[in-house]
Structure 1
Amino acid sequence: MQVDRSTVRYPSRRGDDAELRDAIKRVSRERRRFGCRRVHVMIAREGFAVNHKKVRRIYTEEKLQVRRRGGRKRALGTRKPMVLPVMVLTRDGH
């Protein structure tokens, strides 16, 4: 293949993100309507100096997502046609 041996066996230098993962999970549990961007802002406020791309990677790896709100309630079953009032005449014409 003519690939340098050091390239193929390159060890990953990615550090341990356990503390950051816990913080992201905690914020997303507290604020269920917050997406990845707002979670990144909250993490930054807590003092984590982390890139938004790293927050997104961890957010998707942990399978976190914004909770869906309920949809519009629709009528169940079939609808009856609207009943029109019938004019009743009395003997004197009113």
Structure 2
Amino acid sequence: MREIAETRVRYGYRRIHVLLRREGWDVNAKRVYRLYKELGLQLRQKPPKRRVKAKLREGRCAASCSNEVWAMDFVHDQLATGSKLRVLTVSAGGRRLTRH
């Protein structure tokens, strides 16, 4: 198992299990997983891209004057001809603060 993991670095325990079965080893996938972890062959876990971007985003602060808050969103649609349409809508506003 270690030889396979060293020659094929990007293989996980599932692929290694398939290769071991092809070589004639009668092993259970659970055993391969347990040994894979014990040998320290875990692949690094990639964090989801969306969460990384959310962490980098600055905190939102309250608007201090009018026309300071903007919102944007993508709108998707399909025309009768089958062509796809994607529009970025930008709008000012939301709630307006009134002065007393």
Could you tell me the TM-score, scaled by structure 1's length?
A: 0.45
1 or 2, which has the higher strand percentage? 2
1 or 2, which has the higher helix percentage? 1
Could you tell me the TM-score, scaled by structure 2's length?
A: 0.42
Give the number of the structure whose alpha-carbon radius of gyration is greater.
1
Ranked by relative contact order (alpha carbons within 8 Å, sequence separation 6 or more), the top structure is 1
